[in-house]
Amino acid sequence: MSADEIIPGEREKAVPFRSVAVIGLGYIGLPTAAVMASRGVNVIGIDVQPHVVETVNNGGIHIVEPHLDETVRTAWEAGKLRASLEPVEADAFMVAVPTPITKDKHADVSYVMKAAEALASKLKRGDLVVLESTSPVGTTEAMVEVLAAARPDLTFPRRGDKGAEHDIMVAYCPERVLPGRVVEELVSNDRAIGGLTPACTRRAMELYGLFVEGGLVPTDTRSAELCKLSENAFRDVNIAFANELANVCEELDMDVWEVIRIANRHPRVNILQPGPGVGGHCIAVDPWFIAEAAPEVTPIIQSARRVNDSRPERVVGQVLAQVANVREETGKPAEEISVAFYGLAFKANIDDLRESPAIEVIEHFLKEHSGPVLTVEPHIKSLPESLSAASLTSLEGASGADVHVMLVEHSAFRGKAAPGDYTVDTRNVWS
Ligand code: SAJ
């Protein structure tokens, strides 16, 4: 699909969007709804969780993300943003629901299909439906079939349709914002706009043009779907390279940070940072959506996943080695050796503990160690259930521990010397 097909020279004036419904008020849906509403669009957020709907309808937020609270409050005060448990009529529907992965690495797109079933009854001629959730290739087409089955009175576009007019327009436009910078990146990032037909792409570009200042890149649904998966798989493979290098340096008793620092002085080399593993709900998941679709031809993507997934266990081995050193050098029994872990979030400067490799390290370590385990995480007030055998303390509270383990490079931990002689620094904070 070329840009010329999408944006004809003589374009008639766009039909305004009187209202937009955002299905799913999570880490992507709520910021998207709020940013659009702050640009004067009438937005209604739909979520199945009553506490989320109630919070938004009181001008509040249920997730932590810089600047989201003021964006939501301002839009809510202006009467542009409200929430509902049930879908309502709108001129455009944006679907931003989770697409998790099952234990055996299959993509679960059931929330997308449920959202499609729920919104189908509200569709009217001329509406636009956009899928934003990170999805396996072909999900947008499958979603259209769900909509079409529910609404035989309306016509829907199919892949490859060119000239035909349809009652409903459908596109795939993946989110690509970075947690911690969501409100800013929603506006400034370029967006891939993949319509099922050129008319669908055009309509979706009009919608995103309401709040995106980055470029709007027209394409088809499948390319947009694979593009999103490729972005995260690319990052995963690059992080795996850094982690593999860390494994090599561990074997050779060398400093990986020194090697990376100097290698990155090469004009065409940019090695990422090793760490205790890859967390979050995107980078550790999305590569499997590609691998599941083409298992025989994705050895790099699959082994990168395995390298990154094996890091927590390696870190546990390093911590146990330090515990053994303390025991040997001080004569203390293991049950008296205290170990402090710094950082629990899945990455720096956020409070999100979901799919965190730091948690995995500590859970695993608790099974191997009988002495006191301390944790320091300035962004949370209580420990998750799985860490109930550990305690949450401050930097000062952890200072007397025998072994210190840096897991997340929060700003609050930077600029300080190593707190003791026995350390494992997975993030190059103390070295
Ligand atoms: N990490 C490293 N070393 C690095 C970089 C990251 O170990 O050099 C680890 C982090 O500590 C974290 C994990 O990787 O555990 C993922 O963190 P991230 O900052 O790389 O990515 P996310 O998951 O917060 O957001 C990603 C982004 N994708 C890309 O950068 C290609 C974001 O733009 C996407 O919108 C997001 O996934 C998503 O929702 O898909």
Q: Hey, which of 101, 134, 189, 232 would you mutate to test ligand 1's pocket, going by the most ligand atoms within 8 Å of its Cβ?
A: 232
| Cα(99)–Cα(221) distance, integer angstroms | 17
On the question of pLDDT at 279 being above 90, the answer is yes
Instruction: Report if pTM > 0.85.
Output: yes
Q: Which pLDDT band holds residue 10 (cuts at 50, 70, 90)?
A: very low
Return the C-alpha torsion angle 315, 397, 63, 406, nearest 10.
-20
Q: Tens digit of pLDDT for each residue in 319-343? A: 999 999 999 999 999 999 999 999 9
Residues forming the active site = 228, 282
Q: Which pLDDT band holds residue 351 (cuts at 50, 70, 90)?
A: confident
231 lines ligand 1 (CB under 6 A): yes
| Cα(62)–Cα(60) distance, integer angstroms | 7
| Cα(195)–Cα(173) distance, integer angstroms | 8
135 lines ligand 1 (CB under 6 A): no
Q: Tens digit of pLDDT for each residue in 143-159? A: 999 999 999 999 999 98
Which residue stretches of 139-220 are H helix?
139-150, 182-188, 198-208
Q: Confirm if 34 and 55 have CB atoms less than 8 A apart.
A: no
Q: Hey, which of 228, 235, 237 would you mutate to test ligand 1's pocket, going by the most ligand atoms within 8 Å of its Cβ?
A: 235
The alpha carbon of 302 and the centre of ligand 1 are apart by a number of angstroms equal to 17
Mean pLDDT computed over 205-215: 97
Mean confidence (pLDDT) of the chain: 95
Q: Tens digit of pLDDT for each residue in 416-428? A: 999 999 999 999 9
CA distances from 158 to 167, 198, 222, 226, 318 (A): 12, 11, 12, 18, 54
Element (H, E) at 426: none
What is the atom index within ligand 1 of the atom nearest the CA of 272?
Answer: 8
